[in-house]
Amino acid sequence: METRVIAISRQVGTLGEDVARLVSEELNFRLLDYRVVQAAAEEAGVSTETIAESEHKPSFFTRILESLARNPAGPASGQWMEPIDMSGTPLLTSSDYRELVRQVVEDFARQGEVVFLGHGAQFILRDQPNVVRVLVTGTKKARARRVMAGMACNEEKATEVITRTDGERSRYFKDYFGADWLSPSVYDLCLNTDHLNPTQATRIILAAVHAREGTAAT
């Protein structure tokens, strides 16, 4: 079966952003991550407060898609940023915005040749047979080391970021998708990057893609 979509979910500090970028480059797929949709909203001239408070309008969705089409790659996904508090961000908790994200994901999934990083794509596209769903995970110890390096913080702060982010994402997916986002049964492939670098993890994902298609991985 031809794989047209890769849906990658990751825990903070697992290098999932780099993995998604490399997979998209190797497959020559577009990469859509959270910041792309946020940037598209800003480019469309709509504030996060407007998204949170106003009703969804088709014209707004069209402008988002047009913006994404003009700049499908978006900013470099490997750039470090402290994880966003999804539980308290109006942009993410707004039902209108979540509906927008769902439609963006479904629209680009129909077009194919896309790698989603986040967006809850693993749940939105759960019934699509041409999607490979990947979880990039790791132990707290290994993740803390990366967070410490990326944020130039101490171990206590890094552990706090990991614990907070894991909890927020678990609540978010439970509230809005009614599912456990870390359950292995949600995914086709779960990768622990404690001892895998992004290139190695990418090779495993590509091997899984080729195996599903009945061809040998290179």
pLDDT at 217: 47
Q: Tell me the per-residue pLDDT of 94-132, one tens digit each, with 9 for 90 and over.
A: 566 677 777 778 888 888 899 999 888 999 999 899 999
CA gap 126, 117 in Å, rounded: 15
pLDDT at 150: 86
User: Helices (DSSP H) in the chain: which residue ranges?
Assistant: 16-27, 34-43, 48-53, 58-70, 90-93, 95-111, 121-124, 140-151, 155-177, 198-213
Residues 136, 139, 145, 148, CA torsion sign: positive
Cβ neighbors of 156 (< 8 A, separation 6 or more) are none
Residue 124: CA count within 13 A, CB half-sphere: 24
CA gap 68, 27 in Å, rounded: 19
Tell me the pLDDT band of 151, cut-offs 50, 70 and 90: confident
Residue % of the chain over a pLDDT of 90: 44
DSSP 14-51: S-HHHHHHHHHHHHT-EEE-HHHHHHHHHHTT--HHHH
Q: Tell me the per-residue pLDDT of 18-37, one tens digit each, with 9 for 90 and over.
A: 999 999 999 999 998 865 56
Distances (CA, A) of 188 to 7, 28, 139, 208: 10, 21, 20, 9
Look at residues 192, 201, 81, 104 and name the one whose alpha carbon lies nearest to residue 141.
Answer: 192
Q: CB–CB of 9/134 below 8 Å?
A: yes
Over residues 147-157, the mean pLDDT reads 90
CA gap 163, 174 in Å, rounded: 17
Q: Tell me the per-residue pLDDT of 154-178, one tens digit each, with 9 for 90 and over.
A: 999 999 999 998 998 898 889 888 9
Q: CB–CB of 23/115 below 8 Å?
A: yes
pLDDT at 63: 53
Helix (H) or strand (E) holding 116: strand 114-117
Tell me which fold the domain 5-213 belongs to.
Answer: Rossmann fold (3.40.50)
Helix (H) or strand (E) holding 132: strand 131-137
Burial class, 203, CB count within 10 angstroms (exposed 0-12 / middle 13-18 / buried 19+): middle
Q: Tell me the per-residue pLDDT of 43-92, one tens digit each, with 9 for 90 and over.
A: 556 555 554 444 344 444 455 545 544 444 444 434 444 454 444 444 44
